Amino acid sequence: MSKRLFVKGNEAAAMGAVEAGCRYYFGYPITPQSDIPEYLSRELPPLNGEFIQAESEIGAINMLLGASATGARAMTSSSSPGISLKQEGISYMAGAELPGVIINISRSGPGLGGIDASQSDYFQCVKGGGHGGYHIPVLAPNSVQEMYDLTMHAFDLADLYRTPVMLLGDSVIGQMKEALIPNPRPVRELPAKGWAVRGKSGAEQRVVKSLFLGDGELEAHNWHLHAKYQVMKEKECISEEYETADARLIVAGFGSVSRIAHTAVTMARAEGMKVGLFRPVTLFPFPEQALAQAAARAGKVLVVELNTGQMVEDVRLSVGAAAQVSFYGRPPGAGSLPSPEELLEVIRKNYEETAR
């Protein structure tokens, strides 16, 4: 039996990275994710790995680009303003089809904003973020256990699809301590990295690049990337459902707020309301089909987010005319995290409207 640990979400992600075989980390201090570089600065050198505290977020993402280009498993982490700076490098990595894991323990904005739990960077993470119309898989853990498990999964997805992968959490998920069972990394068959630079060694030259100037080259490259996104949509969607089978109202939320919504749904059930919870675990690819099915059964979806309405757009696209969609948001800031009672009240109101 695996041991049971009591650790922070940020530490769990760093542990997951080490278990996944990541030996190269490049980062820059920013709250609320600094436990990750602190942990890895301690743990990687004894494993013959490399830790660099970079001169900037831009430096860190480009070190990741370089290490990934050699085929090594490598990672960086940051928080919202730092992720903004990394967008250039993420776009280049997406264009050059380089794997790599980016952990984003997001904070509130815009600008310097604050350090409170926030989901205001859904658009930035899920809709591309940098220039060039690309997507990267975005995973949204809602527990310390998932910080560990999904970080390992992120490395596999990155290698399988040759893409940067982002783990999106916030201070609630990154800073809270919970029980963690550090299971060994699941074995997944992955393609050989025949594209990685290594020094020619007498073989064919390898070039890792995102510049395509030949007639039709870049268009073909973009369709190739698009085709990968379609495969991800088919194969890589993850979502979790709670009490949705007979629900008349589905509450939809991801990450930290889904934990609060889970409690609120349980309280609503105790009051006899047929309410369920739908939690997207992958934000890209968005679990459109699973949500559409649950929503069609229920007839109504209440989206709850720690922002003024972002994921709700993907929910509306997913359910179409099959269900009514309403939204409840708390933009980030000190004291803005909703309580289960607050969400229960919103559920009551929405449930009563469906009963009418």
Partner 1 sequence: MQQVFKRPQSLKDVQTHFCPGCHHGTIHRLVADAMDLYGVQDRTIGVASVGCSVFLYGYFDIDVVEAPHGRAPAVATGVKRARPDSFVFTYQGDGDLAAIGTAEIIHAANRGEDITVVFVNNTTYGMTGGQMAPTTLVGQKTSTSPYGRDKSKDGSPIRMAELMAQLGGVAYSARVAVDSPKHVLEAKKVMREAFGYQAQGKGFSFVEVLSACPTNWGMNPLKANARIGEEMIPYFPLGVFKKEEA
Among 42, 177, 188, 206, binds partner 1 (CB under 8 A): 206
Residue 108's φ and ψ, nearest 5 degrees, are -95, 155
Among 50, 241, 313, 342, binds partner 1 (CB under 8 A): 50
- Peptide bond preceding 186 in cis form (omega within 30 of 0): no
Q: Alpha-carbon torsion 42, 43, 47, 51, what sign?
A: negative
Among 22, 40, 74, 304, binds partner 1 (CB under 8 A): 74
Give the residue with the Cβ less far from partner 1, 128 or 174.
128
- Measured CA to CA, the distance from residue 182 to residue 46 in angstroms comes to 20
| Residues facing residue 75 across a β-bridge | 25, 101
* Least separation in angstroms between CB 61 and partner 1: 8
* Least separation in angstroms between CB 193 and partner 1: 12
* Least separation in angstroms between CB 95 and partner 1: 9
- Measured CA to CA, the distance from residue 303 to residue 151 in angstroms comes to 26
Per CB under 8 A, which region of 120-128, 193-201, 223-231, 311-319 contacts partner 1? 193-201
Pairing relationship of beta strands 239-242 and 275-280 according to DSSP bridges: antiparallel
Report if residue 83 touches partner 1, rule: CB under 8 A. no
- CA count, 13 A, side-chain hemisphere, 156: 17
Per CB under 8 A, which region of 3-11, 87-95, 270-278, 325-333 contacts partner 1? 87-95
Among 92, 122, 229, 242, binds partner 1 (CB under 8 A): 92
Per CB under 8 A, which region of 56-64, 270-278, 328-336, 338-346 contacts partner 1? 56-64
Report if residue 65 touches partner 1, rule: CB under 8 A. yes
Which contiguous run of DSSP H or E holds residue 138? strand 138-139
Among 2, 201, 272, 335, binds partner 1 (CB under 8 A): 201
Report if residue 198 touches partner 1, rule: CB under 8 A. yes
Nearest to 137 by CA among 308, 319, 287, 311: 287
Pairing relationship of beta strands 24-27 and 50-53 according to DSSP bridges: parallel
- Measured CA to CA, the distance from residue 217 to residue 224 in angstroms comes to 10
Report if residue 17 touches partner 1, rule: CB under 8 A. no
Which contiguous run of DSSP H or E holds residue 153? helix 144-161
Report if residue 43 touches partner 1, rule: CB under 8 A. no
* Least separation in angstroms between CB 201 and partner 1: 5
Q: Which residue has the tokens 């089809």?
A: 97
Among 12, 17, 63, 157, binds partner 1 (CB under 8 A): 63
140-159 positions binding partner 1, by CB under 8 A = none
- Total interface residues for partner 1 by CB under 8 A: 38
Give the residue with the Cβ less far from partner 1, 96 or 140.
96
The residue count of the chain comes to 356
- Measured CA to CA, the distance from residue 54 to residue 40 in angstroms comes to 14
Q: Which two tokens stand for residue 320?
A: 């179409």
Among 187, 207, 321, 334, binds partner 1 (CB under 8 A): 207
- Measured CA to CA, the distance from residue 75 to residue 33 in angstroms comes to 13
Query: Site residues (CB under 8 A) for partner 1?
Result: 24, 26, 50, 52, 54-56, 58-60, 62-70, 72, 74, 88-89, 92, 96, 197-202, 205-211
